[in-house]
Amino acid sequence: MTSNAAEAWLRRWDAQQERYVADREERFTVLCDIVETAVQDVAGPVIIDLGCGPGSLAARLCDRLPHATITGIDSDPLLLGLARAHYTGITWVDADLSAREWLAEVPPVIHAAVSTTALHWLDNDQLAALYRTLSGLMAPGGVFINGDHIKVGDERLDKLAEVIRHRRAARVGVQDNEDWTAWWDAANSSPELSALVQARTERKLKTASHNENTLTITGQADALRAAGFDHVAPLWQVGDDHVLVAIKS
């Protein structure tokens, strides 16, 4: 596939994701600001993007920090195929974050780990194990940042957060963007993506078990502290859309 053909799918992916995350670009900018600040004294920062999909965040980090070594990790061959076809200067790793094989594919010490709209796919135990692994990889001062929809754990407040999410989407004008199912239907029937579709079909991803994680924002923060991170708090929020930050001393 050509870089231009991939780019059209990537733009379409971004618009589709914005239907669910109206402030996605702002959230990316906040994440980049935090990473940039955390690694400002590091000559060659090493950054990993967990559940990178087609590379939207990794690419924005690469633009912001062209001297960084950036690795995007995902288990979806189609989304990784789009990233590989369009973005240069980033290493793309095809691996399952609920296992440990990806560790062999990243440098032994990292300065930042980021993730957006992805880690809710891991169950609570898998996420806690991932946080312990990340803590072990982090250089002193290293930062982990998770941008995702995370409940606060109070039924009434979580319902209000949903209202905020939908009203925000309407104000931004993204509520009628192409949805997840329509994007995948289009990708699955596209002749130019047929090889990637076949690779994805053979992979048998467990897409049916989407949103397995039940940790609240407090639960995630506790899991990060238990994993060895010292400074943990959400630093940006719109409704249930959080940017949770954890720094390792």
Q: Which residues bind ligand SAM (CB under 6 A)?
A: 17, 51-53, 56-57, 74-76, 79, 96-98, 116-118, 121-122
Q: Are strands 110-116 and 46-50 parallel, antiparallel or unpaired?
A: parallel
**φ, ψ dihedrals at 245, nearest 5°:** -115, 135
- Count of other CB atoms within 10 angstroms of residue 231: 12
Instruction: Quote the least distance from Cβ 71 to ligand SAM, whole Å.
Output: 13
Nearer to ligand SAM, 16 or 135 (CB): 16
Q: Which residue is nearest to ligand SAM (CB)?
A: 53
Instruction: Quote the least distance from Cβ 171 to ligand SAM, whole Å.
Output: 21
Instruction: Quote the least distance from Cβ 27 to ligand SAM, whole Å.
Output: 9
User: 């990806």: which residue's tokens?
Assistant: 102
Instruction: Quote the least distance from Cβ 75 to ligand SAM, whole Å.
Output: 4
Q: Are strands 138-149 and 91-94 parallel, antiparallel or unpaired?
A: unpaired
The one-letter code for the residue type at 107 is: P
* Strands, sheet with 241-247, edge to edge from the N-terminal-most edge strand: 91-94, 69-74, 46-50, 110-116, 138-149, 241-247, 231-238
Nearer to ligand SAM, 90 or 230 (CB): 90
Distance CA 143, CA 112 (A): 5
Instruction: Quote the least distance from Cβ 59 to ligand SAM, whole Å.
Output: 10
Nearer to ligand SAM, 118 or 223 (CB): 118
Nearer to ligand SAM, 45 or 51 (CB): 51
Nearer to ligand SAM, 122 or 225 (CB): 122
Residues whose CB falls within 8 Å of the CB of residue 75, separated by 6 or more in sequence, listed in order: 94, 95, 96, 97, 203, 205
Instruction: Quote the least distance from Cβ 239 to ligand SAM, whole Å.
Output: 17
- Range list of β-strands (E), 75-191: 91-94, 110-116, 138-149
Query: Residue 122 in contact with residue 213, Cβ under 8 Å?
Result: yes
Nearer to ligand SAM, 37 or 211 (CB): 211
